[in-house]
Amino acid sequence: MAWRRGQAYSQDLRDRVLASEGLTLQQAAERFSVSRSYVSKIRSWLRQSGSAAPRPQKPPVATRLVGLHADIVAHVHAHADLTLAELRAWLADEKAQSARSCDFGQIEERCGNMACGIDQESACS
């Protein structure tokens, strides 16, 4: 079973792995083609939370920018021709906050300003 970053395994697979409590971590991992770490983590999560559901996903906005989200959106709307470099410079000067290019992905979606266009794959690599 192929795992994709940022996506939980299917609930069906989680249920089958959790139902295999009589198997060791290694046996369950081999049987369901997952890692021992995955088996250990979901068994631990079930003990802690009592739920077989996956943990909630992390917030989509970069943590370092959460408190500045409204300010960033307002600044982008006020400066229609703003570039990403100018936005990063404004953050550094006015808000004393550094940011990577890939931190702006979710904010850009909310802004609708294509002048801030970001190629997420190249920006984060």
Mean pLDDT, the chain cut into blocks of 10 residues (125 residues total): 67 93 94 94 91 75 72 83 85 84 65 45 38
Q: 114, 77, 36: which is closest to 28 by C-alpha?
A: 36
Predicted pLDDT at 99 = 79
Q: Enter the pTM of the model.
A: 0.46
**DSSP code, position 35:** -
pLDDT of residue 23: 95
CATH topology of domain 1-57: Arc Repressor Mutant, subunit A (1.10.10)
Q: Are 57 and 86 in contact (CB under 8 A)?
A: no
Distances (CA, A) of 118 to 26, 32, 104, 106, 113: 42, 38, 8, 10, 11
How far apart are alpha carbons 98 and 89 in whole angstroms? 8
For residue range 38-74, what is the model confidence (pLDDT) as tens digits?
A: 999 999 989 998 988 887 776 555 567 777 878 888 8
Task: Give the domain ranges of the chain.
Answer: 1-57, 63-124
**The pLDDT of residue 43:** 93
pLDDT for res 20: 93
